[in-house]
A = this chain, B = another copy of it.
Amino acid sequence: MTVDARSTARARIEQALDRFFDDRVRAGAAYGPDFSDLWARGAEHARGGKLLRPRLFLEAVEAFEATEGPHDPVGQESVDSLAAVIEILHFAFLLHDDVIDGDVVRRHRPNLIGTIRDLHPEAPAASSLHWGSSAAILMGDLLLSSAVLRCARLPLPGPVHARVLDLVDEAITETVAGEQLDVGLGDGAIAPDLSTVLSMTTLKTATYSFALPLRLAGALSGAGPRVDATLAEVGRDLGFAFQVQDDLLTMFGDPAAHGKDVLSDLREGKQTVLVAFLRSTERWHEVADVLGAPALREADADRVRTVVQECGARDFAEHLVAERLREVMVGLDRSLLADPVRRVITDCVERIEGRDA
């Protein structure tokens, strides 16, 4: 996709998000100023993202259209609405993830919870935080149900519509299953085996971030089951590589560039591939006491970084990323995908390989 095409895609997604939120803010106004305010703040926070997922979707739609030549295409408004739905689902998942993790900051700024908490500085701290996190639960519910309702109302041909609903259903189910594993690992209710951490990584992020956009684009162009199966597999592999790369960047990258809070992840005892590998080595006891400790400090984080590096966890994770990306390329070679669609996927591979933030 050219730079021009990319900025057009961004503008289309932003307009579709505006249409979605304008509509909801208007409907919400009937229920008083607090509810209007919740929608307005939700909209503001939802619009701050990089739009990775809907952009991948639009690129894939364009690639399928280029492949098929003249046919009966789905209207652009439906395509753009579905791009907005993908971003809204992502934001709804983030909101409930932040509630579950007790996070009040995202990308160096207060998230929706932190913003609403800070509106009443005169109230007791516990009440303000409760007001903020309850707002995030409720906004997540509104976004999740509105996103699904938006899909339900798309004017698509019957079989395409049924397929879109199935894919959205599957993505929500898998994401929640992955989130549940993540919570259980953090709370000690699920044993932190490396294999569980690997499947959590795929379910929680990879499916909705990469497999869903690719498969929805396929569904709109009437792709058959074999093409869909390739898109699902390739999407999960891309998403897995993306997430492990993300864990590597959070641990070893520049916080000013990636905007993640490594201390907060380490204090929560977040189970990443790096931590799960480290746990399986004899160096684990050197940091077992600080990982998951609320009092963990920058010096402890440095020690964790050194041990993760020296025990081989970093190498292991880097190899995992490279291996999955290779599997994507092998999967593509064996697939029925046409060249423009292949190119969308090889672009993703290159972006993940070259990622530094």
| A96: Cβ under 8 A from any B Cβ | yes
**Which residues on B sit within 8 Å (CB–CB) of A1?**
none
Q: Is the interface of A mostly helix, strand, loop or mixed?
A: helix
Q: State in angstroms the CA–CA spacing of A57 and B307 once bound together.
A: 62
How many angstroms from the CA of A244 to the CA of B344 in the assembled complex?
58
Chain B residues contacting A44 (CB-CB under 8 Å) are none
Q: A150-176, CB under 8 A of B: which get 1 and which 0?
A: 011100000000100100110011101
Alpha-carbon gap, A152 to B148, bound state (A): 8
User: A168's contact among B137, B149, B190, by CB below 8 Å, is which?
Assistant: B149
As a 0/1 sequence over residues 4 to 31 of chain A, the CB contacts with chain B under 8 angstroms (1 = contact) are 0000000000000000000000011001
B127–A96 CB distance below 8 A: no
Contacting residues, chain B, for A107 (C-beta < 8 A): none
Partner of A174, one of B31, B137, B162: B31
The verdict on A284 contacting chain B, using a C-beta distance below 8 Å, is no
Chain B residues lying within 8 Å of A100, measured Cβ to Cβ, are: 130, 134, 137
Interface hits, A101-153 → B, CB 8 Å:
119-120, 123-124, 127-128, 130-131, 134-135, 137-138, 140-142, 144-146, 148-149, 151-153
B130 touches A187 (CB 8 A): yes
Query: Are A135 and B180 interface neighbours, CB within 8 A?
Result: yes
A194 CB → nearest B CB, Å: 15
Complex CA distance for A244 and B212, rounded to whole angstroms: 45
Stretch binding the partner chain, chosen from A32-40, A59-67, A251-259, A315-323 = A32-40
> Who on chain B is nearest to A126 by CB?
B187
| Shortest beta-carbon distance from A19 to chain B in Å | 16
Nearest CB on B from A142, distance (A): 6
Q: Determine whether A189 belongs to the interface, using a CB cutoff of 8 Å to chain B.
A: yes
Contacts A34-B190, A123-B188: A138 and B180 contacting too (C-beta < 8 A)?
yes
Chain B residue contacts of A131, Cβ below 8 A: 183-184, 187, 189
Taken together as a complex, chains A and B put the C-alpha atoms of A217 and B134 apart, in Å, by 32
The answer to whether A176 and B127 touch (CB under 8 A), given A34-B190, A153-B162, A168-B149, is no
CA distance A172 to B147 in the complex (A): 13
Chain B hits for A138, CB < 8 A: 96, 176, 179-180, 183
Q: Does A308 contact B (CB under 8 A)?
A: no
The reply on A79 being an interface residue by CB < 8 A is no
Point out the residue from B127, B169, B174, B184 that lies within 8 Å of A34, measured CB to CB: B184
In the complex the two chains form, what is the Cα distance from A145 to B146 in whole Å?
Answer: 9
Of chain B, the residue at the smallest CB distance from A123 is B188
Partner of A38, one of B38, B180, B199: B180
**Interface 1/0s, chain A 189-224, versus B by CB < 8 A?**
110000000010001000000000000000000000
Tell me whether B145 and A96 are in contact (CB under 8 A).
no
5 residue pairs A–B, Cβ–Cβ below 8 Å: A32-B181, A96-B137, A135-B183, A142-B172, A153-B165
The interface of chain A, by Cβ under 8 A from chain B, is 27-28, 31-32, 34-35, 38, 96, 99-100, 119-120, 123-124, 127-128, 130-131, 134-135, 137-138, 140-142, 144-146, 148-149, 151-153, 162, 165, 168-169, 172-174, 176-177, 179-181, 183-184, 187-190, 199, 203
